Chain A
């Protein structure tokens, strides 16, 4: 796997954001560096076109770092491009919802074809949620972790909704808990969410799923060979090989990678699931 793969720089933020803000010296945190940034990153939206608050904090800048130079697509106010390991999921809202049978209507595949994979993802990622009024829209609640704790305003809203459920449902309004890739108990080697309110400032909360965690797991197991710092520009397929043209994302130096044969004549040496993961030859022009 070839990837630019920007990674986050370590954050010193530790503990609840509001406690840290009251007495940063107790936790040896420089609030200016962590919340504003040495290059005044958090002030971005004052002077420049809008950037999501989840992307503008100093430690979150790696998510969109270099995108203007590296992407063949010009980003604008409407969308952002990421070259980070794990991509935009480093700053996502962690909502994970299944398509429903009605949404599959007219497609050549049915919900029943997809459901085993939904279940596998639920088991791997760890999704919190509840069997409530939104289940018909979000899918079955099997294997879900307990829902995240709802703050007082949310509880008040849910309480009022429950008291007037019938009339609200008649008008087409349904309220319930979100389905989130946020662990409410330890799962798959990752700890439970700690409600520290740091999602906008501290990257890689282990309780919030990020595809980079699975990538690292695959790499550590030896299932994937991974090389970061490489921007793939194009590839060319022949009957026996795939040649990838790339460049070093830091220096711009041209790179060429040739992947092994994907013909069925060598199935034992190169199983299809890893057909392009073995780089036979890597040369720098």
Chain B
């Protein structure tokens, strides 16, 4: 990472990275990933152009994943989905996440069942997300 963009980072952005990482992978984000996330948003010029008060949603412990799915159906390039993509890319290249992104075992039946389960889960998340959008008045 270029030296001139390493510090300082907005604590709210780092917290955002951590919350999205938790929603995607179920654990806290490593500190350097949080810094990479903040730098990526800064380089893309999206640091301030959120349109959604993600900090408020994190404070209220709202299901970000559900909201992201609902927003993605409405607009695939919405700011929250973009942020999920950034965290996903940054997490994917980390060796400790290799098994989460690459399957090296041949397991057709198990894989099909897992896929079906996730389809059902995504449908439920979508419904939940639409309710949350209304509840939190996100447009």
Contacts and interface: CB of A to CB of B under 8 A. Distances in A.
Interface in A1-46: 18, 21-24, 31-32, 35-36, 38-40, 42-43, 46
Nearest to A47: B44
Given A35-B93, A40-B40, A22 B86 contact: no
Contact of B95 (A24, A36, A43): A24
23 contacts: A18-B102, A18-B104, A21-B93, A21-B98, A21-B102, A22-B98, A23-B95, A32-B1, A32-B36, A32-B93, A36-B89, A36-B90, A39-B2, A39-B43, A40-B40, A40-B44, A42-B89, A43-B40, A43-B85, A43-B86, A43-B89, A46-B82, A46-B86
A36 B44 CA distance: 14
Given A40-B40, A43-B86, A46-B82, A31 B98 contact: no
Interface of B: 1-2, 36, 39-40, 43-44, 46, 82, 85-86, 89-90, 93-95, 98, 102, 104
Most-contacted residue by chain B among A36, A40, A42 (CB, 10 A): A40
A42 B43 CA distance: 13
Given A42-B89, A43-B44, A22 B2 contact: no
A40 B39 contact: yes
A178 B105 CA distance: 28
B137 to A, nearest CB: 26
Given A43-B86, A47-B46, A31 B95 contact: yes
B93 A22 contact: no
A21 B97 CA distance: 9
Interface residues of A, number: 16
A36 B93 contact: yes
A31 B39 CA distance: 17
B30 to A, nearest CB: 12
Nearest to A18: B102
Contacts of A22: 95, 98
A63 to B, nearest CB: 20
Contacts of A39: 2, 43
Contacts of B90: 36
Most-contacted residue by chain B among A23, A24, A47 (CB, 10 A): A47
A21 B86 CA distance: 18
Given A39-B43, A46-B86, A21 B1 contact: no
B102 A40 contact: no
Most-contacted residue by chain A among B44, B90, B93 (CB, 10 A): B93
Nearest to B83: A46
A16 B94 CA distance: 16
